[in-house]
Amino acid sequence: MLHLIEAAGWPIVLLLVASVVGLAIILERLIVLRAARVVPRGLLQQVLTEVQTQGVSASLIETLENGPPLGRILAAGLRNQQATREAMKDAIEEAGRAVVVELERSLSMLGTIATISPLLGLFGTVVGMIILFGSETPTGSSPAVLAQGISVALYNTAYGLVVAVPSMIFYRMFRARIDVLAVEMEQQALKLVELLQGQRRS
């Protein structure tokens, strides 16, 4: 690490900070956005079974609200079971929007890191060029200063791309995964509405 900072100069510190933050976001979202955690298999059927046997209870709603994201959406529907179909769907859609916002947490930061990392690399390149052009003396250029300027320019350019490319890949991947999970949660929530309203058989 110290060797990298010495070779690339102080501008690399900004990229190192960006890479650490980006890595933390990627690891956290990989855990949070697992399908088994967001849309547990069999949860809807468990809810329907309990509703058919014991009815909609406060304990069931509370358990769902404290559970996975899909559970919070289903809880919104159960809470409005006695309302009209449209009111029940509106409650589910409102809860769904809140869940999606939660799933997208930190993604804007990851997208920002992917966007600014090449710019931070370019900034380091400019600093390296300044060192190069500032090394001219009446007796000529110092080889050591020239080498330092070239090192700063190249290291920062390369590291900026190294940080930006994975960040953009994971940002796009997480966005696509959230879209898929949102559609699946919507389908299961609509199935709950139709089953409770007697318009569909399980």
| Tens-place pLDDT, residues 91-131 | 999 999 999 999 999 999 999 999 999 999 888 888 877 77
pTM of the entire predicted model: 0.82
H helices of 85-142, in order, are 85-103, 107-133
Mean pLDDT of the chain: 85
Residue 165 contacts by C-beta under 8 Å, 6 or more apart in sequence?
Answer: none
Query: Rounded to an integer, what distance in angstroms lies between the CA atom of residue 200 and that of residue 98?
Result: 27
Burial of 181 per CB tally in 10 Å (0-12, 13-18, 19+) = buried
Query: Does the pLDDT at position 138 exceed 60?
Result: no
Instruction: Dig out the tokens for 106 from the structure.
Output: 């930190």
DSSP helix/strand/coil, 197: coil
136 phi, psi to nearest 5 deg: -70, 130
DSSP helix/strand/coil, 57: coil
Indicate the pLDDT class of residue 144, thresholds 50, 70 and 90. low
